[in-house]
Structure 1
Amino acid sequence: MRKTPIRIATFVGLLLLGLLVLAAGVWGALALLYAGPRDEPLRNALAAGVALATLLALGALPLHRWRRTMLGCYLTLFVVLLVWWHGIEPSNQRDWLADVAVLPHASIEGDMVTVHDIRNFDYRSETDFTPAWYDRRFDLRQLQGVDLVAVYWMGPAIAHIFLSFDFGKGDHLAVSIETRKEKGEGYSTLKGFFRQYELYYVVADERDVIRLRTNYRHDPPEDVYVYRLKGDLDNGRRLFLEYMQRINELHERPEFYNTLTTNCTTTIWMNTRVNPSHLPFDWRILASGYLPEFLYEQGRLDTRGLPFAELQQQVHVNARAQAADSAADFSRRIRELSQPSSAGVASDDFDTGQ
């Protein structure tokens, strides 16, 4: 009878060890498939070798005679993989797609911030455009609000989230955290786990970054919602400066994007930690499509006294953006019927401390 608990403990221990070996093997094989040598046959052969080694290690677990030897060999293989993995470095020197070819940066002098290389493309279609960038000087004392922009294209659970800073008189600066892709490279959620994209802050005119999504992306079509955040304006100023500092850091030292840990929404949350009133981490930061409703529940949105469903309908800007198109007052027109006038926003009417 005394042997029964020992056998159960051994079984559970081997089961957990087997799951660990399996997870390491799946990660190693996928890492080699996506980030391994450029030579495809060699890359596939190395990934297959890791998969075979994983199967052999799993098969040896029940065999006391071979267990220690196989696990030792497998651990050595995994250490080699980790050394190779940590040797993969991000770069700012690649053959980039035109829309991410220029790295923005900022010059900060007290309350005055000059943002260099703000994107403002003239689109004829999603892929046909005339590139253009400009510089603009912003006075932090003129900040009047911050908007959260939610973009949906694949159901309610997933959205691309970015912020737009309102400096009054129709002057909005949008900052969208995205992947920096090379020519000929498309986006893949799975590839995003394996150091395939650099992290990129798109600093853009709203006529670019919002109009691109409402007017020119049709496969699939994208729905765009612009919510006004509420709270202390000092939070917005600190967050804007945090964004500018991160943009400058990436200009000097590139970093990798990660689908789970360093994506559009988790990076916003990390940046908002500069404010003492930021929200604690919540699962809806990962299931980003539900983030606006979470902020609504936390009292972080200008609700206008509306239930969330009605507010969401009111801030849906596609029709207004399509009507405004390239108009100089694009930002004002997409907010008609969806946002109060700037003059009506007091210093405690929005919050970027989420």
Structure 2
Amino acid sequence: MPDPNQQDLHNIHPSDLHTFTKQILIANGTSPPDAEIVTKCLIAADLRGVDTHGTNRIPSYMERIRQKALNPSAIPTINQVTPVVGQVDAHNGFGFVAAHEGMKLAISMAQIYGIGMVSIKHSNHFGMSAWLVQQALDADMMSLVFTNSSPALPAWGGREKLMGVSPIACGAPGGEDGKPFILDMAPSVAARGKIYKALRRGEKIPQDWALDGEGNRTDDPAEALKGVMLPMGGPKGSGLAVMMDVFSGVLSGSAFAGHVTNPYDPSREADVGHFLVAIKPDLFMSLEEFKGRMDYLYKRVVGSEKMAGVERIYFPGEIEMIMEEKRLVEGIPFAMAEIEGLNREADLVNVEHLIVK
């Protein structure tokens, strides 16, 4: 019997999606170089299967631009605090652009001094954290990527929205035989973007994801958005959310303690904070030896004994890499309602529609 929640999905080729998204951004006041950065980051999420942080975010971002809650032409500025510490002021521009500059700065410091740390203030949502990890990997760097976000999660034992569902991400280069290590996870049972995705597609959600406005478990995404997300591991997930706020919000001088604006709320600036670290992996041994050790770790993890019913063990980030290879060939799946939402944005700025083939 077919799943009543499953909709017909239509695959869009990544190159078509890239052209469309970049044109929408430029038409809404983003410079071509910045539009390229934002587009690449959004499509990277779509390719990796992180649909909640991909091009479906375009309508909410564009509405924030229209309501003057996000400045698409803002130019980040850099303050070099020490030889290994910098701060980026995003000036309420795209988080993608400020974070890209921040990681570039962290990498350049780490290449000289072994480590680079960058705090970013007055920023916005920067999508999937894994693209920043990949930026560091492309430079043969290890990384830590923190951000805070709008309130969606209670402190453990509470029921009010206070902490953000703020992802913690990190990575390390792999060797020739193994995969790179890429961890990108939210401190909640599920990312809040999955609630919005279920709402767009008219789907139910698992009952262990969220509470409604009355504090009861719910499978209705609309009711879940009136309540709170549930932290993974109870107090452990709640503690990670507080940690993200300390390093990203308190330290940077950006909003914190529940005062970051929801990216779907175009009424005011978001004032998100980020914290990025790049680390040179050959500080204590050669890069070749480090990568060889990473290869060994990969093989030990994926080759370990499996529990009953498990066919394969994956290294962190490996499932997403497999999905990327698949979607580069087959295209990126969208529900028709999602395509229509993107095409409404195209109509507003006279950009050609995404065509379902």
TM-score normalised to structure 2 length = 0.26
* Bigger helix fraction: 1
Greater RCO structure (CA 8 Å; 6+ sep): 2
TM-score normalised to structure 1 length = 0.26
